[in-house]
Amino acid sequence: MNRGRLAFMGFLLLSGAVRAADEPAPEKIDAKLLAIHRDEARRWEIFVDASQTKKATFDPEPVYRWTNKSRANGQSGAMFVWTFEGRPVALGGVFSNPEAGRRVIMHELHALGAQKLFPRLTGSEFVWRPEDGVPLYALAGVPAPEASTTRRALQLRDLAREFTANTIDDRGTRWQLRMLPRPLYRYGKDSGDLIEGAVFAFVSDAGTDPEIILLLEAVNDGAKKAWRYRPVRFSISSLHVQHKGKEVWKSLRDGQTGVFDNPGNTYSLLRDRLIDELPELSAGRQP
């Protein structure tokens, strides 16, 4: 072996680019965790009618995957969407982390849209009953939606950037959030009132798990076209959203409203169960 190749191999070893023979490949761990999170999300059946005859469609491909190594021994999660007639009606995250030598499974969901939902979690006695829909608000003082899909895509990006957000944790510390540069999910069919919509996420510097979700939609509003928006909670902190510097939405955690400030029960956070830790991680390795 020539000196150049020896030097290169030495660099790889020092940099950690060559794994030990018994160290599991990160991509294999990643795939196994995704399989667990997807199977957990499949357990949710979400209906849009009380008789439970109209069922939302579950998309098995995650719209987003995230990690937070600083929280609960290292969390890893995936977010999925349920749709009905072209619109997302629920966004759900399943995440997990090591706990006492095993792995705890958590479910976090929020209803979306004006329809009241009737969800059911297979194999569990847990009941989530959203009492209300989640209608979007009119977004005033912005240009009407463009006619072309390409130009509307630019509008969606620019409008999303006009929003800022922050959290205040249980110690009273304020955390500024950053919006991910691309939407998690885009949808639209240009029929009825819906023209096009997108789902954006605000995350903190602690990890890439969403704290606030922002929906933006271009709609037909009578004879005109307009924009609507709606922030929703994916955190147990107090949440604040601003548009062009002016606060337009908040969801507080305090003694009166409780942890979720969610009287309509449209947000749900469930500690579901403990499962055996992945063998690849049982020796203390983290994903």
What is this structure's pTM? 0.86
pLDDT for the residue numbered 287: 42
57-68 pLDDT, tens digit per residue, is 999 999 999 988
Indicate the Cα dihedral angle 249, 253, 254, 260, nearest 10°: 100
pLDDT for the residue numbered 13: 37
Question: Longest C-alpha distance within the chain, in Å?
Answer: 75
Q: What percent of the chain has pLDDT over 90?
A: 68
| Calpha distance 49→206 (Å, rounded) | 39
Tell me the mean pLDDT in the region 182-193.
Answer: 86
pLDDT category of residue 10 using cuts at 50, 70 and 90: very low
Tell me the mean pLDDT in the region 170-181.
Answer: 92
191-244 pLDDT, tens digit per residue, is 679 999 999 999 988 778 999 999 999 999 988 999 999 999 999 889 999 999
99-116 pLDDT, tens digit per residue, is 989 999 999 999 999 999
Bridge partners for 243 per DSSP: 163, 246
Q: Which has more pLDDT, 20 or 45?
A: 45
